[in-house]
Amino acid sequence: MMQVIVASAILFDMDGTLVDSNLCVTLAWQAWCADTGADLDEVMRICHGTPSRSTISKVAPHLDLEYEIARLEDFVRNVDGGQKPMPGAAEILASLPPDRWALVTSAVEETARFRFVHCHLPYPRVAITAQPGRPGKPAPDPFLAGAAALGMAPAECVVFEDSEAGVQSALAAGCRVVVVGNGPALRPGVLARIQDFACVRVDMQDRLKIAIHL
């Protein structure tokens, strides 16, 4: 069976969506918690899909936020967790015109670039990364920014996301969503669920035809 979704642009999450980096993220948080004494269980409960700034401010409000963000990101870029592109990710990105897709991630720009280089993926022309002063997922702001940067209405964009916070963010922005993996529950506005991009093909005409083989 095949499902076809018509859209003007695609907005991609990164960790757990384009890049299999879950082990890297877990190891980085483990190292940070070991150094700071923060509660790892609480960190893992709230961190997935949200900016590290938000997580650190909740679990360790007594620490210097900017210093701890920088230290965590250093762990992120130095742990060996076997990060790799999700199956089919390189192919789908290569098939898309640069002005029809964007990255919308809770990672900072340095980490996003590091992951794309490490995984040999083309870094996007439009990348919405974690920024001080801009609300992150689950607020709608990141996906609103991604759609606006491409010159598209949110309703014309399809989002690929693996986290609950990311799905909430995309739906709140008015985008349609395809869930990657087994995490977030299906709900109105979520069009399909995939395990990776091996089952996805995109045909570019005036608009994108996203074919998902279910």
200 contacts 86 by C-beta, under 8 angstroms = no
Q: What 3-state class would DSSP assign to 101? A: strand
10 contacts 181 by C-beta, under 8 angstroms = no
Helix runs in the chain, H state only: 22-36, 40-46, 52-59, 65-76, 89-94, 109-118, 141-150, 164-173
Q: Which among 13, 20, 141, 162 is annotated as catalytic?
A: 13
Q: Which among 15, 20, 141, 162 is annotated as catalytic?
A: 15
Give 3-state DSSP helix, strand, coil % of the chain, rounded to 5: 40, 20, 35
Is 13 labeled as catalytic in the residue annotation?
yes
Is 15 labeled as catalytic in the residue annotation?
yes
Which positions are catalytic?
A: 13, 15
